[in-house]
Structures are given as structure tokens and as C-alpha cells.
């Protein structure tokens, strides 16, 4: 097999610094010149939460509450922003990929990290809503890092996958957009998983995002962790997403510079 | 100075070939869905629509050597350099490089126009595998060389193209490379900075840095190279003393197709003086060149016109 790897490899430190620098630059550029800055990342979940709380809760009278919606919408927008952003991260940096040799995975990973930082920065606001609505912190909150890690792993795996395949199959960027919309309604975000009719319940078992969303809500609002079987299934699916995403990326990365 | 011919091999290409598909038909989902027959036919044909940009190239460069690659546009020399840089993988054969490699392919690529020069320098260094601390230490020298001290904290969209080029070269030049791969980048920028770049390259050469350069600047190739190679339609057809290889290149240029000739004429116009000096100094080469030109009266005419113009300029200067 042909090899063209210059000797004197890179340090892990370099890769970490590179991801952090790219992330910082992206975030800085996104809010450069805007008055409200990162507060804009709150706008979408808050606005959608308010509208849905009114439409579903008041108009349709389902009794759904704002904190229920927000506990799903905040993590959802993290997931959606990261995957959608990652899908264009290679094709959007074609010049760089063609001219400079660097660990290419840093591009989608820094996009995912950027969305993650935005989510973490918005988390106090979500927690503020949850606490204000009378759900104080409890021991179950110690499970939050677990749900966070599951979602981060799933997002990184999917991000690597769509970013890599989009280089060869540009339509995937648009397909991703459509699929994310479908996934939004197909995942128990604006409804509880228990409300799904028995015949369709399997959908929430094959959807790796479903137990994660249930996890955020269960911990924040009900003070209990989701069943271990759900978390276990989610962990397996997350590990699979990471493995497949990484394998696909490794398989395809050598052709990026020529395909873009 | 140690003779490079005795040094250890730091750049080696063995039987390197690179194939590119000429077009990728049926890639769009729309075409595939609406015209499945067409898409299938294109898929069946796919193997035939291809181009071997580099064919079976084998060569070695030793530590401290300055190796130039010349050739007409489209001869595969830039592709070869991309393969050496690891930006593209050979379809066949192997490429091996030893030591820290710095590449200068198209200056200023990888700069982000919205952030400052300083941040771009750091980011470029990180992309090339350096740590932030190393880059911060190198920064003053880079800025000094590029002559951008008062602009370094401005966003790069405010830079002129010359400033882009200067910063790009300065970064690559101060990365303390052991192997420097340079692709036709010094054609841009003002003459004064170009001279500064060549001075720096000469200094790196004296320090024992191995340099592989792709260039149309035949004057520079002759001035700096220890050895040169000529690429033609993907093949390395000649390797040897720069003077001989450049001579062969000019001769071949005059013989080849009108399109390639046109491209070469443009390259030669930049080094018209070098060609004229050669004609005056090297009777044997001049005879060869003249014989080649004889077969192409149009090309000959153009060169003679330019030479005449040059003489007129000289006369005025006197």
C-alpha cells in the first residue's frame, strides 16, 4: 500500500490545540459583530418552546408544559446544530484540505465541539427554567454527565459519518437536513415516549436519540434515571455510531483532497 | 560544504503513478433517479474516463540537495509535488520522506480572511503540526520577515494580495523544515520580496535543508538547483544537471503542440533574459535550440521579436 506520511508525527497536544483553536475561531466568527452574541443560541429553543407550549399545551390542551419542552429542545438543538454543521465541514474547507496536510478529523470534531460548548453555555438557562418550575436538583442529576457523554459520542460519530460521505455525495447535506426534521418528530422530544402507541413503540427503541432525550427529561424533571436497559441500548448504539463514523472517515479521508 | 550526492536519501519516489477519473458521471442523485439508464451506462464506462497525471516516476533526493522539477503546464509536476506532500495518495508506487516537511503550495491557502494575521499564523502553525507555544515563539521573526509589523493584528481581509503572499512564505520559511516542498509560488509578489524569498531559500540550502521545487522560473532553477528533472505527460523524462535539463526543456517546448507552446512562451517570457544569455554563452545549446526553433517559424518569430525589443531597451539604457 502506498504511504506518504511524513516522518516525525504529530503530538496529541497539537491535535487538541488544533481542535480548540478551530472551535474558538468558529464561535468567535459566528457572533462577531452581533450585539447579543451567544445569547442567540438560546433564541431557537426558547422561541420554539414558547410557541409549542402555547399551541400544544393551551390550544390543543394536551397539558404539556414549557419545562418539559425545553428539557428536550435544548439538547435537540445541540444535536441538530452539530450534525448539520459537521455535514458541511469538509466541503466547506476544501482549500485547506487540498493545500495543507493535517489530521482531517479535527474539522467535523471542532464543529461538534463548538455546538457542544454552546449547549453547555445555554445549560444554566435550561436549569434555571427547570428549577423555577419547581423541580429542584436531586441525586439523579449525577446522571447528567452520563446522558451528556452518550449524546456527545453519538453526535461525534454521526458528524464524522455525514461529513465524510458528503464529500463524495453532496446530496447528503440536504438529505441530512430532511432526515433531521423527520428525526425531530420521530424522537420523543415534544411528546413523551409513553404516549407512543404500542404498535409504534419499537421506533423509540431503534432510535439512539430517544433514550437520551428521555434521559434528559427523566433526570431533570422526574428526578430519576431512565431504565438501565434503555441506557444500555443507547450506549451500544452510540459506540456503534462512533465506530462506524470513525471507520468510514478513515476509509474515505485519503480521497478528500482529490474529491473536493 | 558536504556534497549532496553523498548524503542520505530523504525524499524517495518509487514507481509512483497517479490516476484521476476525468469526470465523475452519475454523481448527482437527480441524474441517477431521473435517468437510471444513463447513470448505469456512465457507471459502466467509468474505468475508461481517466487520466494518468503521473506515470511510473522514480527518483531520489539526498539530504541538502536542491532538486527542481520543470515541465510544461499539465505535465504532472504539481501533482507529483502533491503526492510528495502527502496531500494525495499514489495510485501505484510509494513515496517516502524523512524528517520535518514543510510545504509551500499556493501561498496563503488556509488563511481565514475574517481573523487577524496573528491568529492566522498560529492556526497555520497548528495545522502544520506545531504547538501554540512554538508558534508564539516564531511569530516575531515571521512578522518581521513578512514586513507586516503594523498590520499583524488587522483582519486578513484588509491585506493586499502581496501581503498574503509574504505572510504565507514567511510562515513556511520559518517552520525550520528539514525538507521544503515549493510549488511555483514565487511567481507572485513584487520583485524585491521575490529576491528576499530566494535569498532565504539559498540560506536554507546552506543550512542543509533539502528542497524540492516545481517552477517555471528557469533562471531560478539554474541558479539554485543541484539537479533538475523534466516532466512530460506525467513521466519524468530526464534528470540531470539543471543547465542540461532546462536546455532540453526549452528544446522540447518548441517542438510540442501549439497549446503547450503557448503556455511555455508565457513561462519563458518571464525569463527571456536567461534564454538570451544562454543563447550568447552556450553555442552548443544555442545550436540545438535554433534547430528546434527552425521547425516552428512562428515561435521563432516571436522570440526574435522579443529579443529585438530587449536589445532596443538595452540600447536606450545605454
Q: Which of residues 95-154 of A touch B (CB under 8 A)?
A: 95-96, 98-102
Dist CA A96 CA A133 (whole Å): 48
- Domain membership of residue B185 (yes or no) is yes
CB A70 within 8 A of CB A126: yes
Dist CA B191 CA B271 (whole Å): 13
Residue B260 has pLDDT above 80, yes or no: no
Contact A98 B96 (CB under 8 A): no
Per domain, the residue ranges of chain A are 39-259
Instruction: Tell which wins on pLDDT, B72 or B85.
Output: B85
Write the CB contacts of B12 (distance below 8 Å, at least 6 apart in sequence): B59, B60, B61, B94, B95, B96, B97
Q: Which pLDDT score is estimated for A19? A: 93
Q: What pLDDT tens digit does each residue of chain A (260 aa) get?
A: 333 333 345 778 888 999 999 999 988 888 877 777 778 888 888 899 889 988 888 888 888 888 899 999 999 999 999 999 999 999 988 888 888 888 899 999 999 999 999 999 999 999 999 999 888 888 889 999 999 999 999 999 999 999 999 999 989 999 999 999 999 999 999 888 888 888 888 887 788 899 899 999 999 998 888 888 888 988 999 999 999 999 999 999 888 887 87
The CA distance from B158 to the nearest CA of chain A, in Å, is 16
Confidence of residue B173 (pLDDT cuts 50, 70, 90): confident
Contact A100 B103 (CB under 8 A): yes
Q: Output the average pLDDT for chain B.
A: 77
For residue B12, give the chain A residue with the closest CA: A4
Instruction: Tell which wins on pLDDT, B190 or B114.
Output: B114
Q: What is the mean pLDDT of residues B29-49?
A: 67
Name the residue among B27, B93, B109 with its Cβ closest to that of A99: B109
Q: What is the 3-state secondary structure of B181-246?
A: EEECCCCCCCHHHHHHHHHHHHHHHHCCCEEEEECCCHHHHHHHCCEEEEEECCEEEEEECHHHHH
B270 touches chain A (CB under 8 A): no
Contact B27 A169 (CB under 8 A): yes
Confidence of residue B2 (pLDDT cuts 50, 70, 90): very low
A202 touches chain B (CB under 8 A): no
Residue B291 has pLDDT above 60, yes or no: no
Task: Tell me the C-alpha to C-alpha distance, in Å, between residue A10 and each of A29, A90, A102, A203, B187.
Answer: 27, 21, 9, 43, 31
CB B50 within 8 A of CB B22: yes
Copy the grid coordinates of residue B84. Answer: 510528495
**Cα first-last separation, chain A:** 23
A206 touches chain B (CB under 8 A): no
H-type alpha helices, A133-194: 144-168, 171-186
Strand partners, B182: B104, B213
Contact B127 A7 (CB under 8 A): no
Query: Three-state DSSP class for B8?
Result: coil
For residue A21, give the chain B residue with the closest CA: B123
CATH of residue B56: 3.40.50.300
* ipTM for this model: 0.79
Query: Three-state DSSP class for B159?
Result: coil
For residue B91, give the chain A residue with the closest CA: A2
Residue B100 has pLDDT above 60, yes or no: yes
Query: Three-state DSSP class for B57?
Result: strand
CB B97 within 8 A of CB A7: yes
How many domains does chain B fold into? 1
Name the residue among A14, A32, A168 with its Cβ closest to that of B131: A14
Contact B129 A258 (CB under 8 A): no
- Domain membership of residue B188 (yes or no) is yes
**Cα first-last separation, chain B:** 40
Dist CA A27 CA A17 (whole Å): 15
CB B92 within 8 A of CB B253: no
A24 touches chain B (CB under 8 A): no
Strand partners, B232: B235
The CA distance from B7 to the nearest CA of chain A, in Å, is 18
Return the H-helix or E-strand segment holding B296: none
Please give the residue range of the domain that contains residue B227.
4-100+177-241
Residue B311 has pLDDT above 50, yes or no: no
A178 touches chain B (CB under 8 A): no
In chain A, which residues have their Cβ closer than 8 Å to the Cβ of B105? 99
CB burial string B84-117: b at 16+ within 10 A, e below? bbbbbbbbebebbbbbbbbbbbbbbbbbbeebbb
Name the residue among B101, B105, B126 with its Cβ closest to that of A6: B101
Contact A100 B110 (CB under 8 A): yes
Amino acid at each position: 500500500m502506498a504511504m506518504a506520511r511524513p516522518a516525525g508525527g504529530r503530538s496529541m497536544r497539537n491535535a487538541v490545540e488544533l481542535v480548540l483553536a478551530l472551535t474558538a475561531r468558529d464561535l468567535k466568527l459566528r457572533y462577531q459583530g452581533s450585539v447579543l452574541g451567544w445569547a442567540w443560541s438560546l433564541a431557537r429553543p426558547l422561541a420554539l418552546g414558547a410557541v409549542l407550549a402555547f399551541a400544544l399545551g393551551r390550544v390543543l390542551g394536551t397539558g404539556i408544559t414549557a419545562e418539559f419542552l425545553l428539557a428536550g429542545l435544548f439538547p435537540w438543538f445541540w444535536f441538530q446544530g452539530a450534525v448539520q454543521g459537521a455535514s458541511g465541514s469538509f466541503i466547506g474547507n476544501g482549500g485547506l484540505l487540498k493545500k495543507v496536510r493535517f489530521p482531517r478529523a479535527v474539522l467535523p470534531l471542532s464543529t461538534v465541539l463548538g455546538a457542544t460548548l454552546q449547549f453547555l453555555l445555554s445549560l444554566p438557562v435550561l436549569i434555571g427554567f427547570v428549577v423555577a418550575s419547581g423541580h429542584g436538583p436531586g441525586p439523579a442529576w449525577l446522571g447528567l454527565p452520563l446522558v451528556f457523554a452518550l449524546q456527545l459520542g453519538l453526535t461525534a460519530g454521526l458528524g464524522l459519518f455525514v461529513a465524510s460521505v458528503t464529500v463524495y455525495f453532496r446530496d447528503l447535506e440536504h438529505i441530512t437536513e430532511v432526515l433531521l426534521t423527520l428525526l425531530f418528530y420521530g424522537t420523543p422530544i415534544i411528546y413523551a415516549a409513553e404516549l407512543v402507541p404500542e404498535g409504534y413503540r419499537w421506533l423509540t427503541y431503534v432510535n439512539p436519540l430517544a433514550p437520551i432525550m428521555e434521559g434528559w427529561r427523566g433526570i431533570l424533571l422526574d428526578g430519576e434515571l431512565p431504565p438501565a436497559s434503555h441506557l444500555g441500548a443507547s450506549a451500544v448504539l452510540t459506540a456503534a455510531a462512533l465506530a462506524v463514523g470513525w471507520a468510514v472517515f478513515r476509509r474515505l479521508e485519503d480521497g478528500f483532497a482529490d474529491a473536493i | 560544504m558536504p556534497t549532496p550526492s553523498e548524503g542520505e536519501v530523504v525524499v524517495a519516489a518509487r514507481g509512483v503513478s497517479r490516476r484521476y477519473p476525468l469526470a465523475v458521471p452519475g454523481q448527482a442523485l437527480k441524474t441517477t433517479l431521473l435517468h437510471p439508464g444513463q447513470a448505469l451506462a456512465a457507471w459502466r464506462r467509468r474505468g475508461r474516463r481517466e487520466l494518468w497525471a503521473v506515470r511510473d516516476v522514480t527518483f531520489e533526493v539526498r539530504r541538502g540537495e536542491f532538486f527542481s522539477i520543470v515541465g510544461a503546464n499539465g505535465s504532472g509536476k504539481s501533482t507529483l509535488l502533491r503526492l510528495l506532500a502527502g496531500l494525495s495518495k499514489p495510485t501505484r508506487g510509494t513515496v517516502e520522506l524523512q524528517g520535518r516537511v514543510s510545504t509551500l503550495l499556493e501561498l496563503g491557502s488556509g488563511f481565514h480572511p475574517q481573523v487577524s494575521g496573528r491568529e492566522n499564523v498560529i492556526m497555520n502553525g497548528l495545522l502544520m503540526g506545531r504547538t501554540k507555544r512554538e508558534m508564539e515563539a516564531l511569530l516575531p521573526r515571521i512578522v518581521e520577515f513578512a514586513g507586516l509589523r503594523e498590520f499583524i493584528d488587522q483582519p486578513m481581509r484588509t491585506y493586499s494580495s502581496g501581503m498574503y503572499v509574504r505572510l504565507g512564505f514567511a510562515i513556511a520559511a520559518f517552520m525550520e523544515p528539514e525538507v521544503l516542498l515549493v510549488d511555483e509560488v514565487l511567481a507572485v509578489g513584487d520583485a524585491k520580496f521575490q529576491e528576499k524569498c530566494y535569498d532565504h531559500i539559498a540560506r536554507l540550502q546552506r543550512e542543509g535543508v533539502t528542497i524540492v521545487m516545481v517552477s517555471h522560473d528557469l533562471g531560478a532553477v539554474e541558479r539554485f538547483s543541484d539537479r533538475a528533472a523534466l516532466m512530460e505527460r506525467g513521466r519524468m523524462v530526464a534528470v540531470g544537471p539543471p543547465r542540461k535539463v532546462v536546455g532540453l526543456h526549452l528544446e522540447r517546448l518548441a517542438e510540442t503542440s501549439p497549446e503547450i507552446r503557448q503556455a511555455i512562451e508565457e513561462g519563458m517570457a518571464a525569463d527571456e533574459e536567461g534564454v538570451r544569455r544562454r543563447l550568447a554563452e552556450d553555442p552548443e545549446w544555442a545550436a540545438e535550440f535554433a534547430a528546434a526553433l527552425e521547425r516552428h517559424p512562428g515561435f521563432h518569430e516571436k522570440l526574435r521579436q522579443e529579443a529585438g525589443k530587449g536589445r532596443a531597451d538595452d540600447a536606450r539604457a545605454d
